[in-house]
Structure 1
């Protein structure tokens, strides 16, 4: 495995020139193995839920998110991608990508082509002849009346319709207006969107909502028509929300630039970094929430630096996975081309070297300890001891693979990642992080929380109520104090039950013995951090257990501290301190 460090000696991202060189070299490597006639990058041995033609489109379209900001510095790359688009949208060409239909992946990828039409109109759209433009416009217009999921997909169609408006093509303002209202209805507050009514608030928010909202805002006044005033009202709203979002989301970055891993679509990695440079155009909105361009510069740079050192490249392509290639943690909509969406993170290249973003001195915002509560999200986010941590009482996305691991653990961290398949292999001696699991007295299946009956954020304390199975009810209270996370569990059970609870994962390995031991401490030491559980109240035994290989997003081999024992029938209570410390 290789990292972005292979593309240049300077991966500090201290100036635009070196950043553009890294980006253009990476993209050139991607298209070196394809011919525009094929309208695809390369064949793949793994697939998503959509067809091969849509996957071909995905590869070309997602490269555009990185190539278009390069502009004059990558004319050959943009030309090659433009020719691929010309063939892909031509119904008479053998590589035609096909028509968009209801709930179709093509709708997602069309937004990148819309991006190219507006941000690089001369080199991309106007470079096509009249027949080629007609094919492209007709192909994009077909998205207008299809059915789409009622979630962030509304933004894809918004961008497509805005691009049609920009080039003077026919577009349906009623549909655009309807999509904008649907997006409005998904706004939760505090700068955050739910991904659909009752949906999740997660790692996806910056690049699935705010990045697109800021693009929309830039495009609103590219032309003047009798819709401009109405669109400007939405534009203002999107900018204000993005600035407010940045205030809390800035805490999702640890002092080393590592992000909190939480939720789905982790293969998109640093896509969210694009928000920081887009916000650099709105200094007054940032000032209203106590932020500045120097903060945006720092958050963008430390994110790209951390990611550039991680082994995320496989055979020259961005791999499916998070810190390393990992299909276990992927989604059903991840193809080998999907991770290219991360190129949104290089959006800063669109800004000229003279822009205040590139001239700004990086602030120390990512070094500051802070804690914020988001009552509408049911989130507590803290940065302390160099690590960013999320405590969450938000709902899960039940339709996703391993969704309960991705959304319903007690904590998510920038330094420890999270594990999938946390409970699947307990009887074989493995367990995931940050769970409190119970063994069903009859089926002997190990179960954790898969839904929340109650979730409240009261001042600085998160209270959730959940049941692993009928006859067992758990109330969990979580808070931060003195640099430590605390968990109090109150259990009411109709039967005697075996239990096991775990802490954060670290990058070390312990022998899988198929059973549990009793140790003096539930303490495990990794290369950079140690992880420990301390039992303050309640009964249980200490141990350390391995996570199943490749189940943790950061570490292919990992281990966690655990407390295990029996819960007697009736009511029981535990108070545990959950400790993560940097190693000297």
Structure 2
């Protein structure tokens, strides 16, 4: 039964099959914002809730982020009725003497992020944003942008924001020193780690910022910049190679892999497919690219992602502040409008003219070596095993980067209370507690390797508690082996995949001395012990509400045990499956578990360092 608030989603009911459908979706997403524009047009205020930056910067987000969709829509011939509002707001927001002034721009400031959309607009549709301004307005806008571009930007994808502002300034004929831009372009290229993958700065992680930021902005540069042909050729070649890997982050139903930070940007996840089209890169047949693109937006059209007035909420599959970051304001979700970049292309472009195709079948286990992942295609799902990455300065970073497995179908849970071990989900995670109250999980890594399709990591829950983890794909199963060395007794809990919990307690479960199974109304999820050195009992856990990204209520099968001081081994087999694909023989036909000695030998012989981690 559809969620009763689904009709508030501006995408709901749109078939999302044609260019006109996509254009309609953009306008339907934008128009609910109109009542929240300030009188002078410069600010969009959606909530009293705050972010790490000040409220004027959040209001600038609400003004600028829709431009990621509006600008290509207009460039492609779309009639946008509110250019007067945007021109008025542009001047007032940059005018220090106006009460709606956005504020001065300092180093590493949020305003630098939002000005990129304005630079993009000036580069692509100056006849709408720039040409109609009077001399005073042009002086105000150019002065603000010139001052902003002199600031220092965060050492990651932010460096593209100066590049985009400069593309706009160049288009409107404003002179500036290009030295800093050249330096940033060189530094951005230095984040390349091969096979089309980048790091998002000098960090041990790769996430959706690689497709929807590093590649997205790079391909805009490749289209709009003059000259610099060799760099643009490198950017395009990386995108072509990257396509072969990133397609394994998109499920057959259009869902994307829920992994990493900034999940509230939602269908920005599909921005990479948009950028391929914009840059005219047929990295896959156009029908396949179009399929990945449209299926993704259709998937979001079926979720209650908007508030009652049609405003996109902070959250993922539903409104959810728990999963958000400190830099998420109420306006932040509108970065999703980066998805609409192909509207700059005419209907005759082969992307729009192509017949949409399904994703090609993939029966093999696929190693994604650079991010340290292994992908397994399953019915209505893609499971990605992960060596683990690092982001230790953000709420929920363990869950967003360090779980053993991620899924396009099941999302993941964020722990709601790190002082309640017994209530924790530990979905696709091993939880450890020394007091039965507080707990630790995999966070930062000591080592990360891939050997064929086996992933290995070594990590410390405390300074004197070391865990080695091997992840072994046996599609549709995966196996986990942990070798845990501790100077004291520990409580442990390890979970499988979270599945949707039904109303009226209609789900059923089985708990045994070595397994736990949840039989949900749509899916079945289980975890089975496979010869651990300690006895582990199954527990059918009811997760705390609003912890999963996709569903407000979930079920998680777990194995629980007390581990003595010394070295112990934990081994398990994990599976989740939509009920239409479930087979009873799964319970009697478990995959063979390799020995630790075999796993150690494999890693010694074939182990290669994970590029994303090897910093």
What's the TM-score, normalizing by structure 2? 0.88
Task: Give yes or no for contact 2:6–2:304 (8 Å, CA) kept in 1.
Answer: yes
Report the more deviating stretch, 121-130 or 258-267: 121-130
Match of 1:58 among 61, 71, 78: 61
Cα distance 1:423–1:572, how it changes in 2: closer, same or farther (>3 A)? farther
Change in Cα spacing, 1:432 to 1:144, as seen in structure 2 (3 Å) is: same
Taking the aligned partners of 1:8 and 1:281, their CA distance within structure 2 comes to 22
From the superposition, tell whether residues 370 and 273 of structure 1 become closer, same or farther in structure 2 (CA, over 3 Å). farther
2:445 partner SS: coil
Give the structure 2 partner of residue 30 of structure 1: 33
Would you say how many aligned residue pairs link Structure 1 and Structure 2?
A: 567
SS at match of 2:82: helix
TM-score, with length taken from structure 1: 0.92
**1:272 equivalent in structure 2:** 269
- Structure 1 distance, partners of 2:416, 2:49, is 24
Alignment partner of 1:551 is 2:547: yes
2:573 is paired with a residue whose SS is: strand
1:424 alignment partner in structure 2:
418
Separation of aligned partners in 2, 1:544 and 1:426: 17
Which runs of 5 or more structure 1 residues have no equivalent in the other structure?
Answer: 222-227
Do the aligned partners of residues 46 and 6 (structure 1) sit closer, same or farther apart at CA in structure 2, a change above 3 Å counting?
Answer: closer
Match of 1:527 in 2: 521
* Partner Cα separation in structure 2 for residue 281 and residue 349 of structure 1: 9
**Alignment check: 8 A CA contact 2:376 2:476 kept:** no
The DSSP-based 3-state class of the residue aligned with 2:29 is helix
Change (3 A) 1:498 1:29: closer
- 8 Å contact from structure 2 (residues 421, 437) kept in 1: no
Contact 1:500–1:565 (8 Å) recurs in 2: yes
* Cα distance change on mapping 1:160 and 1:473 into 2, 3 Å: same
Counterpart residue number, 1:434: 428
Residues 135 and 469 of structure 1: CA distance in aligned 2, closer, same or farther (over 3 Å):
same
Is 1:267–1:320's contact at 8 Å kept on the other side of the alignment?
Answer: yes
Match of 1:342 among 336, 340, 344: 336
**For residues 81-92 of structure 1, what are the structure 2 equivalents within 5 Å?**
81-92=86-97
Residue correspondence of structure 1 range 234-383 to structure 2 within 5 A? 234-281=231-278, 286-287=282-283, 291-314=284-307, 315-365=309-359, 368-383=362-377
**1:406 is the counterpart of 2:403:** no
Aligned to 2:215: 210
- Displacement of 1:517: 7.2
1:193 aligns with 2:198: yes
Q: How has the CA–CA distance of structure 1 residues 133 and 4 changed in structure 2, closer, same or farther, with 3 Å as cutoff? A: farther
Deviates more, 1:518-527 or 1:501-510: 518-527
Match of 1:224 in 2: none
**2:49 equivalent to 1:46:** yes
> Which residue, 439, 451, 460 being the options, matches 2:453?
460
- CA pair 238-4 structure 1, distance change in 2 beyond 3 A: farther
Instruction: For residue 370 of structure 1, report the CA deviation from its aligned partner.
Output: 4.6
Distance 1:277 1:57, change over 3 A: same
Distance of 1:482 and 1:395 partners within structure 2? 23
Structure 1 residues 253, 55: closer, same or farther in 2, change over 3 A?
Answer: same
Q: Is contact 1:312-1:324 (8 Å) kept?
A: yes
Tell me how far apart the structure 2 counterparts of residues 523 and 8 of structure 1 sit (CA, whole Å): 36
What is the Cα deviation at residue 476 of structure 1? 0.8
> Take 1:464 and 1:151, find their aligned partners in 2: how far apart are those partners?
26
* RMSD across aligned positions (CA): 2.2
Q: Is the 8 A contact 1:271 1:343 kept in 2?
A: yes
